[in-house]
């Protein structure tokens, strides 16, 4: 089964053709990073406009690379939640219209489910159940993947997501946007023991964490150094920060492995590209004997291939988006976004009566 997938939840316009959830026939990502870098972060209005400008071209390229005509597709899918609502609406409406015009099914896909599914593309024999550390710009959580479309959240951040903290710290250190890769590069030349940074502990919730204290500690360090006219060891601070994030996430993942008794563990989302985190995950896997699935860097950030993979499993589970399918800025990974949309439409109809 060949699915055309569209992703437009943030600042990448992406289209891919995926076969049976596991094989990438094409994978096109048009990034807006350079545009948003001028503003130090994603500007939602600009993101939506750029998606509209790029989406037809990106889709044509995805079909061309797959060596296919549109009528050979079996279904179309698009990210419908969570993300920037204007950006999501571009991809969701494009995907629905494309499916409708072809007379093929449409599947709405949850973005974080997609990030997890990136692992199915990289590891053809990976099957649920397994444990995943989700670490992206908007989410940090530990998820038990019970089945392809069934998830249990075991713990998560009480405030900022890991990626959000990376982006904020990057701004404070003046390395610009996007923060994560720049902090990662800076950290390569720094001493992780240079600064002592706080590690969060949440009372009675050992799998939960917090990044706001860590973020504030870095901001205060940088401001104090500036006020006193002291030089800041930016490499050392970047390395200490990467180390602190890793020391927050990896022990919780290890605890979740022990608690669930699962032996397979993966990582998903943009922060999964972080070299300090990847090294610590490999160490942890070696220590515990768990099998680690780490997606290649090309599949950690936002892309449509991962959406096409998850869409296949949503299709197998009977998910079909109607032409009224809406997009949502927020949605829990456990939520059924078709039902969410249908319920919302029903409430609107009742109000109009």
State the residues that interact with Zn ion by CB under 5 A: 136, 302
| In the complex, minimum distance from the CB of residue 212 to ligand KG4, in angstroms, rounded to a whole number | 15
Tokens of residue 123, six digits: 């590891």
Maximum CA extent, the chain: 67
User: How many DSSP H helices and E strands does the chain contain?
Assistant: 11, 10
Q: Assign 3-class secondary structure to 129-151.
A: CEEEEEECCCCEEEEEEEECCEE
Segment 284 to 313, residues that bind ligand KG4, using CB under 6 A: 301-302
What is the rounded distance in angstroms from the CA atom of residue 330 to the CA atom of residue 81? 6
Q: Which helix (H) or strand (E) element contains residue 24?
A: strand 23-31
CB atoms within 10 A of CB 339: 10
Q: Does 138 engage in binding with ligand KG4 (CB under 6 A)?
A: yes
Residue 30 interacting partner from ligand KG4, Zn ion, none (CB closer than 5 to 8 Å by kind): none
Question: Among the residues of 188-304, which ranges form H helices?
Answer: 212-228, 234-260, 275-288
Q: Does 273 engage in binding with ligand KG4 (CB under 6 A)?
A: yes
Q: Does 192 engage in binding with ligand KG4 (CB under 6 A)?
A: no
In this complex, which beta carbon is closest to ligand KG4, that of residue 63 or of residue 268? 268
Q: Which stretch binds ligand KG4 (CB under 6 A): 66-74, 176-184, 188-196, 333-341?
A: 176-184
In this complex, which beta carbon is closest to ligand KG4, that of residue 76 or of residue 84? 84
What is the rounded distance in angstroms from the CA atom of residue 189 to the CA atom of residue 278? 17
- For residue 187, the SS3 value is helix
Binds ligand KG4 by CB under 6 A, chosen from 166, 241, 293, 315: 166
Q: Which helix (H) or strand (E) element contains residue 352?
A: helix 337-352
* Shortest-Cβ-distance residue relative to Zn ion: 302
Cβ neighbors of 45 (< 8 A, separation 6 or more) are 86
Binds ligand KG4 by CB under 6 A, chosen from 62, 271, 331, 338: 271
The footprint of ligand KG4 on this chain (CB under 6 A) covers a number of residues equal to 21
| In the complex, minimum distance from the CB of residue 242 to ligand KG4, in angstroms, rounded to a whole number | 7
Binds ligand KG4 by CB under 6 A, chosen from 137, 236, 295, 308: 137
| In the complex, minimum distance from the CB of residue 3 to ligand KG4, in angstroms, rounded to a whole number | 20
Tokens 């990626």 correspond to 163
What is the rounded distance in angstroms from the CA atom of residue 19 to the CA atom of residue 73? 10
Binds ligand KG4 by CB under 6 A, chosen from 91, 114, 128, 178: 178
Cβ neighbors of 323 (< 8 A, separation 6 or more) are 96, 100, 106
In this complex, which beta carbon is closest to ligand KG4, that of residue 111 or of residue 243? 111
Q: Does 274 engage in binding with ligand KG4 (CB under 6 A)?
A: yes
Q: Does 173 engage in binding with ligand KG4 (CB under 6 A)?
A: no
In this complex, which beta carbon is closest to ligand KG4, that of residue 66 or of residue 169? 169
| In the complex, minimum distance from the CB of residue 184 to ligand KG4, in angstroms, rounded to a whole number | 4
Q: Which residues contribute to the site for ligand KG4 (CB under 6 A)?
A: 10, 111, 115, 136-138, 163, 166-167, 178-181, 184, 269-271, 273-274, 301-302
């Amino acid at each position: 089964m060949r699915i055309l997938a569209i992703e437009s939840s943030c600042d990448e316009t992406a289209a891919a053709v995926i076969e049976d959830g596991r094989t990438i026939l094409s994978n096109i990502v048009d990034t807006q990073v350079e545009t948003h870098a001028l503003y130090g972060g994603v500007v939602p209005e600009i993101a939506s406009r750029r998606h509209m400008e790029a989406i037809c071209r990106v889709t044509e390229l995805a079909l061309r690379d797959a060596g296919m005509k549109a009528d050979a597709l079996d279904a179309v899918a698009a990210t419908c939640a969570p993300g920037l609502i204007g950006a999501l609406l571009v991809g969701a409406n494009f995907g629905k219209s494309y499916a409708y015009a072809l007379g093929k099914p449409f599947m709405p896909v949850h973005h974080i489910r997609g990030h997890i599914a990136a692992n199915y593309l990289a590891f053809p024999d990976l099957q649920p159940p397994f444990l995943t550390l989700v670490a992206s710009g908007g989410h940090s959580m530990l998820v038990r993947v019970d089945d392809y479309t069934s998830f249990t959240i075991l713990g998560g951040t009480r405030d900022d997501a890991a990626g959000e903290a990376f982006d904020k710290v990057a701004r404070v250190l003046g390395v610009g946007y996007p923060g994560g890769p720049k902090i990662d590069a800076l950290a390569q030349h720094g001493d992780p023991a240079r600064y002592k940074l706080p590690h969060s502990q949440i009372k009675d919730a050992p799998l939960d964490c917090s990044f706001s204290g860590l973020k504030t500690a870095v901001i205060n360090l940088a401001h104090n150094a500036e006020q006193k006219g002291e030089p800041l060891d930016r490499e050392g601070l970047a390395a200490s920060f990467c180390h602190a994030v890793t020391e927050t996430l990896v022990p919780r993942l290890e605890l979740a492995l022990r608690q669930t008794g699962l032996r397979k563990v993966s990582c998903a989302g943009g922060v999964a590209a972080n070299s300090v985190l990847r090294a610590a995950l490999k160490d942890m896997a070696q220590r515990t004997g768990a099998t680690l699935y780490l997606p290649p860097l090309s599949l950690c950030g936002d892309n449509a291939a991962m959406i096409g993979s998850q869409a296949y499993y949503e299709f197998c589970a009977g998910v079909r988006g109607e032409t009224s399918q809406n997009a949502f800025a927020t949605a829990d990974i456990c939520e059924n976004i078709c039902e969410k949309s249908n319920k919302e439409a029903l409430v609107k109809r009742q109000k109009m009566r």
